[in-house]
């Protein structure tokens, strides 16, 4: 399993959000991995197997999922990796006018 994984849940519909593009960036904004959510709303292997300690961003292309009039066409979640050997699961709970996130397991 990769160091960083994610999933997107559509809380308005009560189901996984399939087809959402996700980009993993380092603190300088360089892409270090990318993927697209599968039918379960998950990106199981996002980026390299090991990342250095530091600050990273997950950029979710939510406009592709929510449509051209999406209030949130993109969601960026910034997080810190303190222990590079740990697995970091950063999910996104998404609805048309709100979102939330947490550190998963």
**Binding site feature residues:** 7, 42, 102
Task: Give the right CATH number for 4-101 from 3.40.50.970, 3.40.50.720, 3.10.20.30, 2.60.40.180.
Answer: 2.60.40.180
Alpha-carbon gap, residue 60 to 41, rounded angstroms: 12
Give the containing element (helix H, strand E) for 96: none
The predicted model scores a pTM of: 0.94
Render each residue's pLDDT in the chain as its tens digit; 105 residues.
458 999 999 999 999 999 999 999 999 999 999 999 999 999 988 888 888 999 999 999 999 999 999 999 999 999 999 988 888 999 999 999 999 999 998
**Binding site feature residues for substrate:** 7, 42, 102
């Amino acid at each position: 399993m990769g160091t960083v994984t994610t999933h997107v849940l559509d809380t308005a519909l009560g189901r996984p959000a399939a087809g959402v593009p996700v980009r993993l960036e380092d603190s300088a904004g360089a892409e270090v991995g990318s993927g697209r959510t599968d039918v379960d709303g998950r990106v199981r292997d996002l980026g390299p197997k090991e990342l250095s300690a530091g600050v990273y961003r997950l950029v979710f292309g939510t406009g592709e999922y929510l449509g051209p009039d999406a209030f949130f066409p993109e969601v960026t979640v910034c997080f810190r990796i303190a222990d590079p050997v740990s697995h970091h699961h950063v999910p996104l709970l998404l609805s048309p006018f709100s979102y939330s996130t947490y550190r998963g397991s």
